[in-house]
Structure 1
Amino acid sequence: MTTGSMLDVPPAGRTAAFAPGFGQRVLLTVDTEECFNWTAPFRRDGYGVKHVEAIPRFQAFCEAIGAHPVYLVDWPIVQDARAVEIIGDAVRRGTAEVGVQLHPWVNPPFDEEVCVYNSFAGNLPQALEMAKFMGLRDAIEAKFGTAPLIYRAGRYGLGPHTADLLKHAGIRVDTSVRSLFDYSAGGGPDYTRHPLEPYWVDGAMRLLELPVTSVHAGRLRGMGRPLQRIGERIPRGMGALSRLGLLERIALTPEGVSSEEALRGIDIALDDGLPVLVLSFHSPSLAPGYTPYTATQADVEALYGWLEAVYARLTARGVTTCKVTDIIAATGG
């Protein structure tokens, strides 16, 4: 049976119910990927993975604060012996989990033109999206000794056939939806109308969507979605709304979002009753010079400071960390 497209806003009644006692939890996801020039055209080569040497510090930090990272690894990472050794050690010790992230431009088979449109895996022909995904998924299971249960499309690029592919591959949780964000200008998905809370992709309750957490803040947050659409049609409109304290969009990421903004966003998300807050960032930001967010070592230290502040607030609010397997179990998996 064909599943509805994950690009569609789910119908009413698909919100996932969590088991009594689950409370409110936090999931820390890391887009664990190669380093490349974010401002240059996509290319199949010219990338590196040297930044993986910074992951042991991050993993030790997570264990010290009680976080349980989910490393969403892509093809260049799973092909690098050092990356597999570092991440695999944490996975074997039960202090981290591994999932799938597909960057189609560096993931074989290489049968498509390299371009912005095709950088969203869901835009590829169905057979090619499946071939790339299954090759990566099987490599992850072989290298890490565990079948991945969670997926994030690189660039959040879901497509009309992705849901059926994920269910076929045994993926139980997708976390590709970035609610309140629109990537359609480059041919990608528009998630501005998608729910913030976890929901079932179809009525069979076999695939859970766990959106990356973003919220609206400001005096007019109750009008958030329609007002955001208006603000985005006006040059610098969203910036003006934010400066006036009327509306701002806060994503729970240390990349481009201050700790003060993130703490406001956390309080809003928790007060709104979100059962799981999904934090995210890109692994190259753990070392200086690989992303626009951590150009210097001081920027890297600021990222760690962001995580410290965020987890202190979460602890104060009674929020505990969770694993992907906890989420599956709590939703009836």
Structure 2
Amino acid sequence: MTTKFGFTKMDIDEFETWISNLRVARTILYIQEHHTWSPSYVQCKANNQFEIQQGMKTYHVSTHGWMDIGQHFSTFPDGSILTGRSLESTPACIVGFNSNAICIENVGNFDKGKDVMTPAHRDTIIRMAAALCKKFSINVSSDKIIYHHWFNLSTGARNNGSGNNKTCPGTDFFGGNKVADCESNFLPLVKAKVVGKINPAAQNTVIKYVTVISDTLNIREDANAQSKKVSGRAPVILGSVLRVFQEKNGWYKISGSQQQWINAAYTKEVKRATVNADTLNVRSGPANIFPKVAAFANGQEVFVIDEENGWCKISAENKWVKKEFLDMA
């Protein structure tokens, strides 16, 4: 593995080992698959992956005003992978569907008649999705592995590609960008790489979910403020939803397999819920008079941070939905 511009480059074998050992506090429920469209294969040379990644970051920061590159990972035609923004941070990729997601940008234009995916790239995309499913105990389904094409560009409503949508990840991405294409052509390949592999941490019982209410929150080796910070772990940030496996003396253990503790005083318990309506509007406040900012599809999972007059706040930002259209876990 090599590092440049703050990004780390690795091949898929290295990634599988790296991700299995990586400690991530943020709750991950979804994997987003994208293509960059531009840059495409024609811009990719033998050793310019870092320059392409840095170019995307510069564009995201200077044009969109984001604090960092939008995606967590980028994959390249030679099968290499570059890290992007921290996995502890929410991506900036699909309007209304970034919370609890990992965003993968597959460099290339995979619309029909454009780039022909290389065998190395294909292998990396499949194995990467499988490794992430294994790591975060994500079911291999079109509810959990999602394409940008399935979401309305303006509202974020899931319409499975029937309205104002990008073609992303491409009209020829593993045979197409529709839900049926994904289920027939991509998911079976991912599932074949996951079969029989279970993340040991998933066997531990999650007793609750909490969200971070301070700007940052240190992760320590034991349940007290004098304990050392966990080596190699950045603090978790405001709005992150974390799993709690154990409580002790006002502290929460947030790993099922390792000693990683946070001070409970800087968190708030949240409830996991599932959308039960065909489409659920998301508004900027707890009433119908507030502007619509996104929409959720049936079956989407959210975390309820607060409740007010029959409405539920589902983000550290002001995003609210009607409680009657949620099934609480």
Higher relative contact order (CA 8 A, sep 6+): 1
Q: 1 or 2, which has the higher strand percentage?
A: 2
**Structure showing greater Rg:** 2
Query: What range is the shorter-chain TM-score in?
Result: under 0.3
How high is the TM-score relative to the length of structure 1?
0.27
How high is the TM-score relative to the length of structure 2?
0.28
